[in-house]
Amino acid sequence: MTDHHKFRYLLPPGNNFAFVAKFKIWVVISVLLMCVAVGSLFVNKARHGEYMNWTIDFKGGTEIIYAFQSKASHDYIKVDPGSVRAALTKAGEKGFDVSEIDWEEKDKRIESMIVRTPRFSALNPEAETKALDEVSKKFADRDIGKATWSGDRLFVRSKKPIKNQEAAPVFAGAGLELKPWLADDAQRFAQPDEGTGDYTQVFSMWGLDRQYQQVMEKALDGTDAVVVQSYGVGAKAGDKLRDDAFKSIIYSIFLIMLYLAFRFDIRYAPGAAFATIHDAIMVIGVFAVLWQEVSLTTVAGLLTVMGYSVNDTVIVFDRIRENQAKLKDKKIERIIDISINEMLVRTILTSSTVFVTTLIMNIFGTGLVRNFAFAMNIGVIVGTYSSIFLAAPLFMWISRKYYSGPAPARRRPAPVGLASPDSPSPDAPEEP
């Protein structure tokens, strides 16, 4: 076996680390860390009132990004988040959160502010009912057929038209500000419906974005607040998303287990399941400890981590299965050590390419992408660790405990659609 191949080795060949000998220590450490991760959820509950830093995806609420311009020069300027916070608190807002976010437009850095609030609409149920009452009282002479709220808009059907100017003071009475109609709107609403002769008017209220904008402009003298983006999720929609996200995690673990039991055998499944759950809990733990935002994208990241972790585990398992058939006289511990050692270079290389690409996404990405990449960064680290130090040893432990004696080599399914090796060598696995 002379080496005339001049490979560039990442590790000198023949590496022979003992991975499984001390596996009990690793399992104990991992279980402890998992306890810390789960514990941090409760610490968060006590400290912040929530298990995790849910974004409005799950809580419901509104997220608005403001940029600030100087009134005089129309240049973008930086505003102190403290003053924004103070202004909103003074206006009686509760439960909101202000943080900085910056982005580039035409090579100019624009420093803006992201405001998150649990409120979904500028309206609360009381204001809605009040406005509805006021409108039907004030415009009783117009013979209102029906008036319903949809989001921040009130649809009114009446026998006689109602003008925007007439309605504005009525809404103001209920503490709401009416958006002016565009010329098109006014024309549209002033025409009766051909069939019924009814007039249908839509009164849109200024949303939260505008309400906050005014609060800020009042507090920050000489500054225009510009709404860059606003995003709202109703509380009901948020709950549903959370349910869906939770379900998707449970189902994917279950399906992946099923796949392993089918493709390998049942002894492999618990190890992979434990490793996967470990990875999921560790990622959740890091998000909880660092109070990182958990959005829908984080869930996507978490699921990818789980997919990646299983992928990593499966590739080690695949080699174990192969070596079991090949090295029948060896003990299972030895086989696992040999297999992990054989796969070590691949594991390091693959983990580092995925880690590097996601790290770059973490550094340069924005918002959604960054959140996802962060989950992946942690996931790659714990996923690689768990497939070597947890999944494989657990498989060994189960094999020893419940399948004493040489494990029956399961028949390996024939690879599909590939040419068979040129000549069956003595160390080739059993072909069915």
Partner 1 sequence: MDRSLKWRTLALLVGLLLCAGLLAPTWPGSNSLPSWFPFKKKISLGLDLQGGMHIVYTIDLDKAVDDKASELKRDLDSRFVDDKVDAKVKTPSRPLGAVTVILTDGKKKAEITSQIHSDYGSIIEDRDCAPDDGPNAICVRVSTSYADGIKKSALSNAVSTIRDRINEKGVSDPSVVEKGDDIIVELPGDPEDAVMRETRDLISQTSKLEFKVVDDSTECAALDPSLTTTDPRCAMFRLFKHVGSVGNEDKATDPKALALGITAHPDLWRPEDGGTQRTDYYLEAFDREDTVTTEWAAKHGCLKKDTPIDNGKVSCKVTGRQVIERYLLGDKVDGTKGLFDSDPSFKFPDDHQLGFEPIDPDPTAKEQHALWRTYYLDRSVRLTGSAISNASASNDPNTGRPIVLLDFNRFGSRLFGDLTAQIVGKKLANILDDKVESAPVINVAIRGGRAVITMGGGDVLRQERERDKLVNVLKTGSLPAPLREQAAQTVGPTLGRDAIDKTKLSFIIGIILVVIIMVGVYRWSGSIAVFSVVFHIVMTLAVMAVFGATLTLPGVAAIVLSIGMEVDGNILIYERIRDELLLGKSVRGAVDLGFSRAFSAILDGQLTTAVAGWVLLQYGSGPIKGFAVMLLVGVFTTLSTNIWVTRIFFDWYIARKKGQLATISI
**Residues 300 to 319 in contact with partner 1, rule: CB under 8 A:** 300, 303-304, 306-308, 310-312, 314-315, 318-319
Separation in Å, CA 53 to CA 33, 58, 292, 375 = 20, 10, 6, 14
Which 3 state secondary structure label does DSSP give 135?
A: helix
In the region spanning residues 339 to 378, those forming contacts with partner 1, defined by CB under 8 A, are: 342-343, 345-346, 349-350, 352-354, 356-358, 360-361, 363-369, 372-373, 376
Alpha helices in 264-391 (DSSP H): 268-289, 296-326, 332-364, 367-386
Among 78, 85, 138, 153, binds partner 1 (CB under 8 A): 153
The reply on whether position 68 binds partner 1 by CB under 8 A is no
The reply on whether position 190 binds partner 1 by CB under 8 A is no
In the region spanning residues 89 to 148, those forming contacts with partner 1, defined by CB under 8 A, are: 103-105, 120, 146, 148
Q: Please give the Cα distance from 276 to 390 (Å, whole number).
A: 10
Q: Output the smallest distance, CB 281 to partner 1, in A.
A: 17
The number of residues making up the chain comes to 432
- Tell me the pairing of strands 53-54 and 293-294: parallel
The reply on whether position 69 binds partner 1 by CB under 8 A is no
Among 83, 200, 214, 223, binds partner 1 (CB under 8 A): 200
In the region spanning residues 39 to 58, those forming contacts with partner 1, defined by CB under 8 A, are: none
Among 83, 136, 164, 248, binds partner 1 (CB under 8 A): 248
Element (H, E) at 259: helix 235-263
The single residue listed with the structure tokens 């929609």 is 237
Among 245, 320, 394, 407, binds partner 1 (CB under 8 A): 245
Helices 164-173 & 125-138 angle (0-180, nearest 10)? 130
Q: Quick one: 40 or 362, whose CB is closer to partner 1?
A: 362
Contacts of 295 (CB under 8 A, 6+ apart): 55, 57, 58, 368, 371
Nearest to 306 by CA among 388, 247, 386, 362: 386
Q: Please give the Cα distance from 308 to 67 (Å, whole number).
A: 39
Q: Output the smallest distance, CB 40 to partner 1, in A.
A: 25
Q: Quick one: 44 or 296, whose CB is closer to partner 1?
A: 296
Q: Output the smallest distance, CB 415 to partner 1, in A.
A: 5
Contacts of 362 (CB under 8 A, 6+ apart): 370, 373, 374, 376, 377
Q: Output the smallest distance, CB 266 to partner 1, in A.
A: 16
Q: Which stretch binds partner 1 (CB under 8 A): 32-40, 89-97, 180-188, 286-294?
A: 180-188
Q: Please give the Cα distance from 116 to 56 (Å, whole number).
A: 8
Among 159, 330, 334, 412, binds partner 1 (CB under 8 A): 412
Q: Output the smallest distance, CB 307 to partner 1, in A.
A: 3
Interface with partner 1 (CB under 8 A), residue total 105
Among 7, 125, 141, 221, binds partner 1 (CB under 8 A): 7
Q: Quick one: 150 or 404, whose CB is closer to partner 1?
A: 150
Tell me, what DSSP letter sits at residue 178?
B
